[in-house]
Amino acid sequence: MPAHVYVEDLHKHIGEEVTLKGWLYGKRSSGKLHFLQVRDGTGIVQCVAGKNDIGEEAFARADKLAQETSLTVDGVVREDKRSPLGVELHAKSFTVVAAPTQEYPISPKEHGNAFLMEHRHLWLRSKRQVAILRVRSEIIRAIRNYFDSRGFTLLDAPIFTPAACEGTSNLFEVNYFDAKAYLTQSGQLYGEAGAMALGKVYVFGPTFRAEKSKTRRHLTEFWMVEPEVAYLDLEGDMDLAEDFICEVVAQVVRNRRPELEILERDIAKLEQVRKPFPRIRYEEAIALLQKKGKDSKFGDDLGADEETAISEEFDRPVLIHRYPAEIKSFYMKRDPQDPKCALCVDVIAPEGYGEIIGGSQREDDLAVLEARLDEHKLPRENFEWYLDLRRYGSVPHAGFGLGIERTVAWLCGLHHVRETIPFPRLLEKITP
Ligand code: 4AD
Ligand code: MG
């Protein structure tokens, strides 16, 4: 058998005989030729099967091949200018590995979203979904590259936690033997312990929020990457977020252009993502919204509509800093220049994709942090370990969390986060 070659590598084998291993994506015929679209996860290639090349018996069998038949095809790679890959395969023979036992439910015709979501395990095979998952994988690779090549240590935080980090209204409670535990909302507090041990760390894992609202930006289970750095202030944190986003976007554009083209993403918009990003205070954001006719006022949180309205003003991500402390988390340090505001930053993606990063400088004073826990009615005993970080060599420190799914939605140009993760978990969706 000739060597197995993946579709994405076929262009390196022009004129050679190779074996393709995959599934039948589609098929059409014209008299003496069958055109088999074969996918293998790295791409889809057209295999031309002529009666004279594969023989009469095989030609008749090819006519009956059903969508999603798994098969191998032997043939010669030929240059083809009309193909997006630049090549096609001239088949010499093919072998069916397994014919579907019944008709594949997802035909090339249009299906409704509910139907596709029920068949998510099969929907993943379609061209668009494959492209999205490959971009997602590239984003994660770029994130790891970024931190790994800059002296950060990966720190794994627990999923079972004794306490809330991001407010108590959206916690998933689980029975933990005779006690109660919560699925983590964020690895940050553990990241802070890690930063005091290792200097620069990043936590990267799944996080959980019992989001009761159905929006196109919220999942109940999502992935977050959270760098945390000792001896870093808010300005440094914003510099880090900006540099990080630029590098991740650039790597994705560099390595995943074919996938972005399949998704019909306007790549020029992603190429505009360069430093410096605009930085505005929360109060400036409110003024901007008022100018645009919204009835926003100091103290309001910025919802999806407001974020979209702000993003319309800029061609790249915008950093909004110093929100009112009272609408933000207990651990954020207040601005000594303006104590009603927190030393925090949200990064809003362009083109209406919403908040992708939330971050802050952390409160490093023991007494202030104790008071904040009380104000937020958080049980002190669950945070004693966290307070220890302020008892023993407390230092200024800061970090942020980037949501992977919203980043995938932005870079792929997807309306809803449900397509950004293989098996989305939503208010009314836990299968497949
Ligand atoms: O702004 P958030 O809640 O920040 C934190 O959790 C901090 N502890 C991070 C830190 O400083 N280490 O969440 C951070 C990001 C958001 O900007 C958003 O991208 C994403 O996580 N996110 C969600 N993504 C999908 N579905 C949800 N329900 C999300 N909630 C937050
Ligand atoms: Mg946030």
Q: Find the mean pLDDT for residues 33-60.
A: 97
Eight-class DSSP state of 199: S
- pLDDT confidence band for 31 (50 / 70 / 90): confident
Q: pLDDT tens digits, residue range 347-402?
A: 999 999 999 999 999 999 999 999 999 999 999 999 999 999 999 999 999 999 99
End-to-end CA distance of the chain: 38
Q: Give ion ligand 2 contacts, CB < 5 A.
A: 358
Over residues 253-276, mean pLDDT: 97
Chain segment 181-204, per-residue pLDDT in tens: 999 999 999 999 999 999 999 999
Assess contact for 378 and 164: CB atoms under 8 A.
yes
Query: Residue 425's pLDDT is what?
Result: 97
CA distance 227 to 263: 30
- State whether the beta carbon of 209 lies less than 6 angstroms from ligand 1: yes
Q: Is the dihedral of CA 163, 345, 415, 42 positive or negative?
A: negative
Which ligand number lies closest to the CA of residue 348?
A: 1
**The dihedral of CA 12, 13, 14, 19: what is its sign?**
negative
CB atoms closer than 10 angstroms to residue 134: 20
pLDDT for the residue 92: 98
- DSSP symbol at 343: S
188 Cβ closer than 6 Å to some ligand 1 atom: yes
Nearest CA to ligand 1 atom 4: 358
The long-range contacts involving 263-266, CB below 8 angstroms and separated by at least 24 positions, are: 263/128, 263/131, 263/132, 263/135, 263/412, 263/413, 263/414, 264/413, 265/411, 265/412, 265/413, 266/413
Residue 1 has pLDDT above 90, yes or no: no
Distances (CA, A) of 165 to 168, 186, 369, 373, 379: 8, 7, 13, 11, 12
Indicate whether residue 226 lines ligand 1 (CB < 6 A): yes
pLDDT, averaged across the chain = 97
The CA distance from 90 to 180, in Å, is: 62
pTM score of the predicted model: 0.97
Q: What pLDDT shows up at residue 168?
A: 86
Please say whether the beta carbons of 104 and 122 come within 8 A.
Answer: yes
What's the maximum distance between 2 C-alpha atoms anywhere in the chain? 85
